[in-house]
Amino acid sequence: MNTNNNVYTIIYTTVIVVVVAALLAFVSQSLKGKQEANEKADTISQMLTAAQFGTKAEFQKQGNAAVLAKYAEEIGEAFLINENGEKVADLPLDQVLSPKELKRQNYNIKGGANKTGDAAIPVFKFKNGKTVVPIYGAGLWGPVWGYIAFEDDLKTIAGAYFDHESETAGLGAKIKDDPTFQAEFVGEKPDFSGAKVFEIVKGGSPKEADGSETIDNKIDAITGATMTSNGLTDAINVWLTAYAKYFQGAAPAEKECCGEDCEGECEGEECDNKEVEE
Amino acid sequence: MNAKLKETILNPIFKGNPITVLVLGICSSLAVTVTLKGALVMALSVIVVCGISSLILSLLRNTIPGRVRIIVQLVVVAMMVILVDQILKSFEATYAIDKQLSVYIGLIITNCIVMGRIEAFALGNKPWPSFLDGVANGAGYGLILLIVAFFRELLGSGTLFGIDILNRFGYVPNNLVILPPFALILLGCIVWVQRSIQKDLQEK
């Protein structure tokens, strides 16, 4: 048989491409559920890690089912907010946003040509008072994203976890692999009034006189991963700025500063002083 | 097993190793050898892709139109690569490692070893020897990958398979080892060792 004539060649290639495409479509459809379950459990374990319920390695060891159970036990409230920091819709408690969804929201926050609608960014409140918000942006080779947990005052960072698609292993990939980098975030306070909400810079900020870490909005960047550190800084700034109004609106009011004897006269600093005097 | 089949299996492991002798598949061996676990999964993936693509194409070899044979090879190899990627993503145990290897699993299709062995061997031989040739070449590739990854993970992170080995003795991980150029230096050393054992490979 002559395998070189045109009709044969065209029919042969058509048949092979159709068979392969059908097979791949079938496999992709039948494995889709499992893959999405894995991705969801991965995302949830990142949020739990940010909120300091355990380490990513521990969650990985425990498996998907344990991670989902832990999340169901700890999550209190999940909802979407608009750009004015107002709650617009509840999220089902078993729903999280995949990195793909974060990418879409990232465009919506930043505006521009890729905008697909109004920004509706998620807030996840845990029963122990911690609030977890996602961040998303561009690293050096691909997207970086992650979760930042805040204490119940919505000012102090309680923990953070970051992930990436293709940062350099051993350098940029440390945003994910190095727990000491993530631990640096704990206790820091983003500055919502300044030019930069948060900065990851060489050296961070100088230590306090007694050698303890300064509480501010700067932490030490990763050696050899300046581009990834800068990308992460941008991602954190864009997203935390988008959350700023919500944080201000939802933060618990300052504690009543004066006792019964001050009869509502007191305001602001006066009260603080009074309390100190007492 | 006859001598010829034995030769088909053993040759790619050492004497005709695809990386150190044929110098194929260098790019990915620089990229995925930062950790042993990554190298192991990559090696197994290449063995599966190489073996099964060779088998399929060897079965089809008499029907493939000569003018479009490279395209047919590409379609089959691409199919195998996507299948492996999809399957790795579907299991809890391999999901994290697939995420870490990210694009490199997909890039197995550009690995010259796969297409090279199909073109050079599978299209001219019966299915069973072709399958063994594919598996053996994948194994030869994987062996070098594991050797390189062993040194890179040990010296670059102080661990082996993620288990702390050197760090507990106060070892400071060497960042140079993590970077791809060091993998090239290591590969050079392996080629050097091999050529000093196998004198017939030395150029006069």
Write the DSSP assignment of A222-275 as a string of letters. -TT-HHHHHHHHHHHHHHHHHHHHHHHHHSPPPPP-S-GGGTT---HHHHHHHH
Which own/partner contact pairs does A140-144 have at CB distance under 8 Å and 24+ positions apart? Answer: A140/A167, A140/A168, A140/A172, A140/A225, A140/A227, A140/A228, A140/A231, A141/A165, A141/A166, A141/A167, A141/A168, A141/A172, A142/A166, A142/A167, A143/A99, A143/A103, A144/A175, A144/A228, A144/A231, A144/A232, A144/A235
Mean pLDDT of chain A: 84
Query: Which candidate from B68, B91, B92 shows the least CB-CB separation from A9?
Result: B68
Interface test with A, best of B30, B68, B88 (most A CBs within 10 A): B68
Instruction: Please tell me which residue of chain A has the smallest CA distance to B83.
Output: A24
What pLDDT shows up at residue A115? 81
Short-list A171, A103, A185, A169, CA closest to A137: A103
Q: Per the structure block, which two tokens stand in for A261?
A: 């004897």
pLDDT at A30: 93
Question: CA-to-CA distance for A201 and A237, rounded, in angstroms?
Answer: 13
Window 42-61 of A: residues touching B by CB (8 A cutoff) are: 42, 60
Whether residue A268 is predicted with pLDDT greater than 70 in this model: the reply is: no
Angle formed at CA B7 by CA B5 and CA B9, multiple of 5 degrees: 75
pTM flag (> 0.90): no
Amino acid A86: pLDDT: 86
Q: Which residues in chain A are contacts of B68 at CB distance < 8 A?
A: 9, 12-13
Q: Which residue has the higher pLDDT, A189 or B202?
A: A189
pLDDT at A256 over 70: no
**How does residue A148 score in pLDDT terms, banded at 50, 70 and 90?**
very high
Question: Is 60 exceeded by the pLDDT of residue A262?
Answer: no
Residue A214, CA distances (Å) to A106, A160, A207, B17, B31 in order: 30, 18, 5, 55, 38
Question: Would you state the pLDDT for residue A254?
Answer: 58
What is the C-alpha to C-alpha distance for residues B97 and B41, in angstroms, rounded to an integer? 8
Q: What is the pLDDT along chain B (204 residues), one digit of tens a residue?
A: 688 888 888 888 888 888 888 888 888 888 888 889 889 999 999 999 999 999 999 999 999 998 888 999 999 999 999 999 999 989 888 888 888 776 788 888 888 888 888 988 899 999 999 999 999 999 999 999 999 999 999 998 888 887 888 888 888 888 888 888 899 999 999 999 988 888 887 777
The per-residue pLDDT for A146 is 94
Q: Which of A1, A28, A38, A56 to mutate to test the interface with B (most CBs of B within 10 A)?
A: A38
Asked whether the beta carbons of residue B35 and residue A166 sit closer than 8 angstroms, the reply is no
**CA A100, CA A34: separation in Å to the nearest integer?**
17
- Arithmetic mean of pLDDT, A2-13: 87
Residue A269, pLDDT score: 46
Please indicate if any CB of chain B lies within 8 Å of the CB of A169.
Answer: yes
State how far residue B20 is from chain A, nearest Cα, in angstroms. 24
Separation between Cα atoms, residue B178 and residue B101, nearest integer Å? 15
What gap in Å lies between CA B131 and CA B114, rounded to an integer? 12
> Could you tell me the strand order of the sheet in which A131-138 lies?
A87-90, A75-81, A121-126, A131-138, A143-150, A157-164
